[in-house]
Amino acid sequence: MRTIKTWWLVAAFVSGFGLAMWAEDLALRWRNNLLEFSAPHMHFLTGKQLERLHNGAQVPFDLKVSLYSGTKDHLCCQLAERFLVSYSVWEEQFRVIKTQSPRQVVDHLDAADAEAWCLKQMPLAPSGIGETEKFWARVEVRVPPLDGKTSNPFGRESISESGINLTGLIDLFSRPPAATQFHTMSEAGPWTLEEIKRGSRRGS
């Protein structure tokens, strides 16, 4: 009997592990007739943003989740949200505020939990996607560029003008990010709703 060489086993394990890691880059879960996003390997509380947070500043993060059905170019539905993040220099934990209605605030989170909480606040209804239709998902995160003035994390308008709205945020994401602006993106698929629902039932 032919024996399997050890290095084949190692290669299979490494590629399988790598694939699994990649597959987990962006995950979807079916809950309450909505798709919940999670991206455990996509980090935005890092680098200069984290440095600013550790220095006591409050940093706004704009997040957008999108679904593409049929082909990767056909945008089906999307949702954008702005989160205000600050880091307590004494407690060494994050506070995150979801700025659009319903506004929510959460305290005492570590970086990974703060990132996960933001995505959890953005469940998306897959309207227009059939049960067996292929679709792709994308998550984008941007930090509005500092313009040298006191930045209003609610946007250029006064808070009294109902803060930055969904249209404003979508408009922000429709422009390419500035060279100095932090941005990161993760996309995955294709899936079908049937697969996601089945997977969510197994997981729960």
Partner 1 sequence: MNKLLLAAILCSVPLAGCDVKDDEKALQELNVNAKYTVESVQVSGQKNWRISEALRKEVDKMVGSKLDYPALDRLADRIKKELHVPAVSVNIGKGTVPDNVVVNFEVPKSHEQPAELHVAKFLYDSKLGWSGEGDASTTIKSNKFTFGLVSDSDAMLERFSGIKAKFERRHVGTDRVHLRFEFDSYHEQWNQATLLASDQPGIYRSMQVFTPEATLVIAAPLELDFGTSFSRFRPEQPGAKIESSNAVVSTLRYHQRWGSKNDIDEQELNASYSMRAGIRAFETDNDFTRQMAQARYRFRRDHNSVEIGFLAGEINGNAPLFEKFVAGNASVLRGWNKFDLDPLGGSHIVHGSIDYAYHWLQVFYDTGAIWDVAQEREQKQSVGAGFKENGFQVAVAFPIRSGRIEPIFYAGLNF
Q: Which residues contact partner 1 by CB under 8 A?
A: 55-58, 84, 86-91, 94-95, 97, 99, 101, 103, 105, 107, 148-154, 158-160, 162-163
Provide, rounded to whole angstroms, the least separation between the CB of residue 117 and partner 1. 14
If the CB atoms of residues 79 and 96 are measured against partner 1, the closer one turns out to be 96
Distance CA 30, CA 126 (A): 10
If the CB atoms of residues 15 and 88 are measured against partner 1, the closer one turns out to be 88
Provide, rounded to whole angstroms, the least separation between the CB of residue 37 and partner 1. 24
Provide, rounded to whole angstroms, the least separation between the CB of residue 157 and partner 1. 9
- Maximum distance among all Cα pairs of the chain, rounded to whole angstroms: 77
If the CB atoms of residues 137 and 164 are measured against partner 1, the closer one turns out to be 164
DSSP result, 104-135: EEEEEE-HHHHHHHHHHT--B--TT--TT--E
The conformational region for residue 62 under phi > 0 = left, psi -120 to 50 = alpha, else beta, is beta
If the CB atoms of residues 149 and 201 are measured against partner 1, the closer one turns out to be 149
Asked if 154 contacts 99 with a C-beta cutoff of 8 angstroms, the reply is yes
Provide, rounded to whole angstroms, the least separation between the CB of residue 128 and partner 1. 31
- Dihedral, CA of residue 7, residue 12, residue 17 and residue 19, to nearest 10: 140
Provide, rounded to whole angstroms, the least separation between the CB of residue 61 and partner 1. 14
If the CB atoms of residues 57 and 188 are measured against partner 1, the closer one turns out to be 57
- What residues contact residue 119 under an 8 Å CB cut-off, 6+ apart? 36, 37, 38, 39, 63, 65, 139
